[in-house]
């Protein structure tokens, strides 16, 4: 097995969806086959935008691209292992101190190379460089950063706590860590506003009340991509998970199971225009396939015996 860097552009003409599948031509087939079962880092090329290294995932399998679609001949699809895609909390710049993070992209004097290897859509990545990039994008202490984010400074605790250094791959597969990373990215994408009520609420200490909801649950092959997330208040998160609300095919009209949700609750909880609040960055907006899955598999399902949270509103 081998780790790779995969170039990805948000406006790619190919069937790329970073958390699902990567479309590539035959010259990269051998490297992609060697990477099956191993991890890759996604990279945005210079001409596509400023993000640099922006996410990590694991390759599950590689197959020829099914025909007879135009352009399918000589192309292949690499499928991402469900539940492994994770966007970086900090997008990692291409250069550190003027030097590329990948040794293969350095000239002998450490300056960046031009052309050649730099333009390859698939590049092999040594283990130590993979670990360095991931540690920059997903810090060891991310959970502590989030826990302390809204805590008032305590002058009596000047010393930084010791961070238990977990192996990179253990961190990438630990659900608690991934939940923190997902929550931070989703809430930031929605500017800490609930996508359905439009409200941005904070408690007395400044901590945001909005939560991060998976549109398609992880245990149902959903990913930790921001495009599989919605920022929702606690009550609306509860309602969304139980299929009392969903989003229509236009990806913006809010659907309500009105035979189960009282009209006055709708009036109090949902934006007056009945439209979903979307992230400013189009790359973060809910993917239509994730919304379709929710409509077909959650919306309108029978409620459990739990008390309705809106009874306390």
- Predicted confidence (pLDDT) per residue in 67-124, tens digit: 766 666 789 999 999 999 999 999 999 888 889 999 988 988 888 888 777 788 999 9
Instruction: Answer yes or no: is 116 within a domain.
Output: yes
Nearest to 285 by CA among 309, 261, 252, 239: 252
* 100 conformational bin, left if phi > 0, alpha if psi -120 to 50, beta if neither: beta
66 and 196 belong to one structural domain: no
299 and 194 belong to one structural domain: yes
Residue 154 is predicted with a pLDDT of 46
177 and 292 belong to one structural domain: yes
293 lies in which domain range?
A: 173-312
126 and 21 belong to one structural domain: yes
Q: Give the domain-ending residue among 137, 165, 187.
A: 137
Instruction: Answer yes or no: is 157 within a domain.
Output: no
121 and 228 belong to one structural domain: no
pLDDT in tens, 148-170: 877 654 444 445 555 556 689 89
Q: Please check the confidence at residue 205 and state whether its pLDDT lies above 70.
A: no
193 and 114 belong to one structural domain: no
Q: Please check the confidence at residue 303 and state whether its pLDDT lies above 70.
A: no
pLDDT in tens, 42-78: 999 877 778 899 999 999 999 999 876 666 678 999 9
CATH number of 78's domain = 3.10.590.10
pTM of the model: 0.89
286 and 181 belong to one structural domain: yes
Instruction: Answer yes or no: is 155 within a domain.
Output: no
Contact 259, 244 (CB under 8 A): no
Distance CA 137, CA 134 (A): 5
Decide the pairing of beta strands 75-80 and 99-100. Answer: unpaired
Instruction: Answer yes or no: is 166 within a domain.
Output: no
Nearest to 44 by CA among 111, 93, 103: 93
130 and 177 belong to one structural domain: no
Counting the structural domains of the chain, the total is: 2
Distance CA 83, CA 19 (A): 8
182 and 295 belong to one structural domain: yes
39 and 130 belong to one structural domain: yes
Helix locations, the chain, DSSP H = 29-34, 127-137, 142-148, 168-173, 175-189, 234-241, 263-269, 288-297
Instruction: Answer yes or no: is 162 within a domain.
Output: no
Contact 88, 70 (CB under 8 A): no
Residue 161 is predicted with a pLDDT of 53
Q: Please check the confidence at residue 261 and state whether its pLDDT lies above 60.
A: yes
Nearest to 83 by CA among 5, 189, 181: 181
Instruction: Answer yes or no: is 143 within a domain.
Output: no
130 and 179 belong to one structural domain: no
């Amino acid at each position: 097995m081998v780790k790779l860097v995969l170039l990805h552009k948000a406006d790619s003409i190919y069937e790329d969806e970073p958390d699902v599948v990567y479309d590539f031509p035959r010259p990269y087939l051998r490297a992609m086959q060697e990477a099956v079962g191993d991890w890759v880092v996604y990279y945005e090329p210079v001409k596509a935008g400023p993000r640099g290294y922006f996410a990590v995932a694991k390759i599950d399998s590689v197959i020829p691209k099914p025909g007879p679609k135009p352009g399918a001949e000589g192309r292949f699809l690499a499928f991402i292992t469900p539940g492994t895609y994770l966007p970086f909390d900090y997008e990692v710049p291409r250069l550190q101190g003027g030097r590329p993070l990948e040794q293969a992209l350095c000239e002998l004097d450490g300056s960046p190379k031009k052309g050649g290897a730099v333009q390859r859509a698939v590049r092999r990545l040594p283990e130590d460089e993979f670990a360095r990039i991931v540690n920059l994008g997903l810090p060891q202490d991310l959970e502590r950063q989030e826990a302390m984010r809204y805590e008032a400074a305590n002058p009596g605790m000047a010393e930084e706590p010791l961070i238990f250094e977990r192996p990179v791959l253990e961190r990438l597969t630990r659900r608690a860590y991934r939940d923190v990373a997902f929550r931070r990215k989703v809430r930031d994408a929605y500017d800490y506003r609930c996508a359905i009520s439009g409200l941005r609420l904070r408690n007395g200490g400044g901590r945001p009340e909005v939560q991060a909801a998976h549109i398609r649950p992880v245990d149902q092959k959903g990913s930790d991509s921001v495009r599989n997330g919605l920022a929702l208040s606690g009550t609306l998160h509860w309602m969304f998970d139980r299929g009392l609300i969903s989003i229509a095919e236009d990806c913006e009209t809010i659907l309500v199971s009105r035979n189960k949700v009282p009209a006055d609750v709708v009036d109090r909880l949902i934006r007056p225009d009945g439209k979903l609040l979307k992230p400013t960055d189009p790359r973060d907006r809910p993917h239509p396939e994730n919304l379709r899955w929710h409509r077909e598999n959650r919306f309108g399902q029978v409620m459990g015996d739990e008390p309705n949270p809106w009874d306390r509103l």
